[in-house]
Structure 1
Amino acid sequence: MANQCILRISRELGEIQKAADLSLAAACRDSDVRHVRALIVGPPDTPYEFGFFEFKIRFGKEYPTKPPTVEAITTDRGQTRFNPNIYAGGKVCLSILGTWRGEPGEQWSSAQGLESVLISIQSLMSENPYENEPGFEDARTPQDKIMQAAYAAKIRHETLRISVIDRLEGYLGIDQGRNGPVITVQPEFEAANEEPAWEPFKDLCKRRFLWYYESYKRAIEEEGMKHKDNTPFQKMPFEGGGNSMNGTFQYQALKKRLERIYEKLEEEKQQWIKEGKEAVQKESSKAVNLQRQFEQVVEAYKNQEMVNVELDLVDSNPFLWRLVLFGRPMTNLDGSMICVQIHLSPRFPEELPRAVMDPPIFHHRVSPKGIVCYHTRRVDDMGSHVNAIIQAIEEEAPAYDPRTLVNPEASRLLWGGPENKKIYNRRVRRSAEATME
């Protein structure tokens, strides 16, 4: 029975890790598959947009007959309740977890699993979370609308502050004058030595921060115009007893902190180049492996007769690849010469490459700063990374996926109706043609 439980959990973890859903992630230590950490990226067009919300999930020996226990750990050290159903103390109220009464058919069944639990939690992160509180589902009066907007406003602020900015500052060692290190897990776990420090989503959050930087920046600018700094958050009728979201709006400070994180990530990328050169001089196994992978990818493109692709190493450094993509005729990229630098970490594939287009083109998968949004499941194979980058750039008729919208303006035009799409195509063509100048 125990082996079946372990096999079931391992299979479900593998399915999430191999899936194309960019809003969910899960990981465990090899020594303990029953203790899982999961990350949910906040849904677009909600107060939780592109926030990083982490959970501890413990599977008992009776799983899947009984549900796992789930604990929220993105709570600002137990001080912030992010949702009527996600408490500051970590409790997650869901009928399928047995932590909330539900309607018939909403209880746990062995047909459900880790993914269904994460999707259920993600569904709580709605456009109007105020309605998640029992008794407030049908709030419709003018005062109700005011309270709904006030609740969403402070969630949006704290999503940016706690789940994004505090988290990234902790990863990067940026000191904002706090007492002690910035962490996202609740301190009592570390104090009790329940588990050593472990950050399975560190690289993922760094890469996603770069993807969504413009969205974070835009949210700060727009919300900062609505909420004057030092204005206290409005208390909700269902908050109290240490299970609240208290604080003040501080958007000017958040803007500076956001920009500092971006600068620090740029510095980290330059450090990779330096470390890579040192690894080459020492003839490290990582450097040799990446050199070999580069040669194999180049040879593969020659065999495929990919005449529109050139690949070389910058300064003969296998930790810095340069991809040149010549636009195919009769496409938006016709007449272009697109250059992408692919920065690799000396800790690849634990830290994944960062692809930067210089100069950037106007494109829904390319941020205004040139960050290319791409995804591959074969993370240790550089050929797969290069293919995924090319596919993302050349994609002519993409399916709508809000998690890949790294250029808000381009995305608005592309999916904003026929006339807006014409404008999008025209701007892509013009920016692509400018790469030859």
Structure 2
Amino acid sequence: MANQSMLRLTKEIGELQKANDLSLAVGCQDADVRHVKALIVGPPDTPYENGYFEFDMKFGREYPAKAPAVTAITTNGGRTRFNPNIYATGKVCLSILGTWRGERGEEWSSAQGLESILISIQSLMSSNPFENEPGFEKCKTDKDKDLMQHYVRKIRHETLRISVIQRMEDYLDIFPDGTPKLVKAKIDEDEEEDEDEDVKVEPPFEPFKDMIKRKFMWYYDSYLESIEEESKNVTRNQMFKSMPFEHGSNSMEGKFNYPELEARLRRIRTLLDKEAERWVEEGVVATKNDESVAVNLRRQFDQCVSHFQKEGVALDIELEDDNPFHWRVSYFGKPMSNLDGGLFNIQIIFSTQFPDEQPRVKLLTPLFHYKITKDGIPCYFPRRAEDVRSHIEAIIAVLQEEQPPYDPRMQVNKEAAKLFWGSEEDKKAYKKRFRRDVQRSMEG
């Protein structure tokens, strides 16, 4: 029974990890597969959009006969309730988890599993989360509607502040004002001697850190656009209103301060760019020391050059300053395609922790494209994360894509996406701007 439980859980984890789902992610340590960390990215067109919400899931030996214990981690240290059904304490109220009394047939069954739990939680993150509260259907007055609208606005603010900005500041080891946390740590260390220097502190398990950094780059423009739009609806330092279902510490208290959020967002983006620059410098040292990651990237460079030459793909690959951690790819648009006549320069920078840390990719040639941010960050998925050739092929596939499936989660340039999926006139406007950039690409 225990072995079957472990096999099923391992299979479910593996399937989710291979799926490259834009909204769901899971991770666990080999020594404790029953303890799963999960991440839900807030759905489009909701106040949770592109926020990062983490959950702790503990599966007992009775699984799947018995539901796991699920705890929300993104709660601002137990101070913020993000939903009528997601408490500040971390409690997640769902009938399938046995934490809420639902209708007959909504209780847990062994047919459900890891993915269905996450999808159920994600469904709580709706465009009007107020509706998750019992008695919502009775709220019909203008005052009720105003309260619901305010609830959406404060969730959107706190999604940005806590799930995005605060999380990224933790990853970058900075305080909200930009001061490095390591400076304070060094001062504390100097003031108080460590009595046990031999004790090694294990770093926290953070399976989503690199992924969230990359997604932050994808959605950065969207965050700024949201701030610009929401700033029109509230005033600086306007206090949050309390909802009827919020009580004591199980609430969402605070005030709107979008100017501060914008400053913090821009600072984070600057630090991420500097981080990539540091990777280049660290790569020089790793190459001199003949580290295995440097040898691996050099070998992959040679293999990529050989492969694309044999395949007749019109691109050049070079190493900047002979540094295997800094690649420059020049792709020539395929004749008779939407890229015909274009020349696109792509920068790929690798970390010394590759492939655990994925490369930072930037299109240096401006291109008006729904899957490329305004400053050139492409939204793509390599077939094999450890294989650089897969990255290059996936980037080229994005450039060449002419009839993509509609997926708002990959539309990292909203202006371009609105035109591409708009009216016939909108589509013509998109193609005109796209072709203009293609033509200009040869002029530089």
User: What TM-score range do you get, normalising by the shorter chain?
Assistant: over 0.9
Show the counterpart of 2:274. Answer: 267
Deviations 1:249-275 (A, max 9, x none): 010000000000000000000000000
2:290 maps to 1:295: no
Q: CA separation of 1:317/1:177 partners in 2, compared to 1, >3 Å: closer, same or farther?
A: closer
Alignment-derived partner of residue 21 in structure 1:
21
- SS of structure 2 residue aligned to 1:288: helix
Matched, 1:390 2:410: no
2:285 match: secondary structure = helix
Residue 257 of structure 1 corresponds to: 264
> 1:294 touches 1:318 (CA, 8 Å); kept in 2?
yes
Q: What's 2:190 paired with?
A: none
Hey, what's the Cα distance between the residues in 1 that align with 2:302 and 2:332?
Answer: 20
Residue in 2 that maps onto 1:89: 89
1:332 counterpart (338, 349, 355):
338
Structure-1 separation of matches of 2:366 and 2:16: 32
Does the residue aligned with 2:85 lie in a helix, a strand or coil? Answer: coil
Q: 2:87 & 2:383 partners in 1: Cα distance?
A: 34
Contact 1:46-1:126 within 8 A present in 2 as well = yes
Query: Is the CA contact (8 Å cut-off) linking 1:334 and 1:429 kept in structure 2?
Result: no
TM-score for the superposition, normalised by structure 2: 0.93
Amino acid of the residue matched to residue 364 of structure 1?
Y
- 1:348 counterpart residue number: 354
Out of 219, 223, 228, the position equivalent to 2:230 is: 223
Shift of 1:147: 0.9
Is 1:358 equivalent to 2:364 in the alignment? yes
In 1, Cα distance between the equivalents of 2:92 and 2:24? 17
Counterpart among 374, 387, 403 of residue 368 in structure 1: 374
1:18-417 equivalences under 5 Å are 18-176=18-176, 197-306=204-313, 308-417=314-423
Q: Is the 8 A contact 2:177 2:264 kept in 1?
A: no
Give how far 1:362 is off: 0.5
* Cα gap change, 1:322 to 1:209, in 2 (>3 Å): same
Structure-2 separation of matches of 1:210 and 1:141: 41
1:414 counterpart letter in structure 2: F
Match of 2:198 in 1: none
Greater mean deviation of Cα atoms: 369-378 or 122-131: 369-378
- Looking at structure 2, the residues matched to 297 and 67 of structure 1 have their Cα atoms a distance apart, in angstroms, of 47
Separation in 2, partners of 1:27, 1:409:
34
Displacement of 1:354: 1.3
Q: Which amino acid in the other structure matches residue 80 of structure 1?
A: T
Partner SS, residue 55 of structure 2: strand
Distance (whole Å) between structure 1 residues aligned to residue 45 and residue 119 of structure 2: 17
Kept in 1: contact 2:327–2:348 (CA 8 A): yes
CA contact (8 A) 1:131 1:138 kept: no
Would you say the 8 A contact 1:95–1:102 is kept in 2? yes
**Aligned AA for 1:119?**
I
Q: Are 2:429 and 1:423 aligned? A: yes
State the alpha-carbon separation in 2 of the partners of residues 144 and 359 from structure 1: 50
d(CA) in 2 for partners of 1:335 and 1:180? 46
Contact 2:97-2:108 within 8 A present in 1 as well:
yes
Distance 2:380 2:296 in 1: 23
Give the TM-score normalised by the residue count of structure 1: 0.94
**Deviation at residue 392 of structure 1 after TM alignment:** 1.2
Question: Which letter does structure 2 place at the counterpart of 1:299?
Answer: S
Alignment gaps of 5+ in structure 2 = 183-201
Give the conservation status (yes or no) of the 8 Å contact 2:47–2:127: yes
- Correspondence for 1:185: none
Matched-pair contact (CA < 8 Å) for 1:360–1:366:
no
Partners of 1:406 and 1:52 lie apart in 2 by 16
CA displacement at 1:295 relative to structure 2: 1.0
Kindly state the Cα deviation for residue 179 of structure 1 after the two structures are TM-superposed: 12
Identity score, percent? 57
4+ residue segments displaced more than 6 Å = 178-182
Q: Residues of 1 paired with 2:132 and 2:269: CA distance?
A: 34
Which segment drifts farther, 48-57 or 322-331?
A: 322-331
The one-letter code matched in structure 1 to 2:22 is L
Pairwise CA distance, 1:391: 0.7
The Cα RMSD (Å) is: 1.6
Partner residue of 1:192? none
Instruction: Identify the range of structure 1 (283-292 vs 419-428) with the bigger mean alpha-carbon deviation.
Output: 419-428
**1:329 deviation in Å?**
2.4
**Deviation digits for residues 85-131 of structure 1, max 9, x if unmatched?**
10000000111111111112211111111011111111111000010
Is the contact between residue 131 and residue 139 of structure 1 (CA under 8 Å) also seen in structure 2? no
For the residue of structure 2 that corresponds to 1:167, the secondary structure is helix
- Kindly indicate whether the alpha-carbon contact (under 8 Å) linking 2:5 and 2:64 is maintained by their aligned counterparts in 1: yes
Give the paired residue count.
Answer: 424
Residues in 2 aligned to 1:153 and 1:278: alpha-carbon distance in whole angstroms: 48
Question: Which deviates further from its counterpart, 57-66 or 310-319?
Answer: 310-319
Deviation at 1:180, TM superposition (A): 11
Instruction: Tell whether the 8 Å contact from 2:174 to 2:181 is kept in structure 1 after alignment.
Output: no
Query: 5+ unaligned residues in a row in structure 1: which ranges?
Result: 183-194
- For residue 14 of structure 1, give the secondary structure of its aligned residue in structure 2: helix
How far off its partner does 1:20 sit? 3.6
Deviations 1:112-157 (A, max 9, x none): 1101111111111100001011111453321221011000000000
* Deviation of the 1:176 alpha carbon: 2.3
Q: Which amino acid aligns with 1:372?
A: P
CA contact 2:221–2:373 (8 Å) conserved in 1: yes
**Partner-residue secondary structure (3-state), 1:231:** coil
- Are the equivalent residues in 2 in contact too, given 1:35–1:57 (CA < 8 A)? yes
AA in 1 matched with 2:275: E
Alpha-carbon distance between aligned partners in 2 of 1:103 and 1:282, rounded to the nearest angstrom: 64
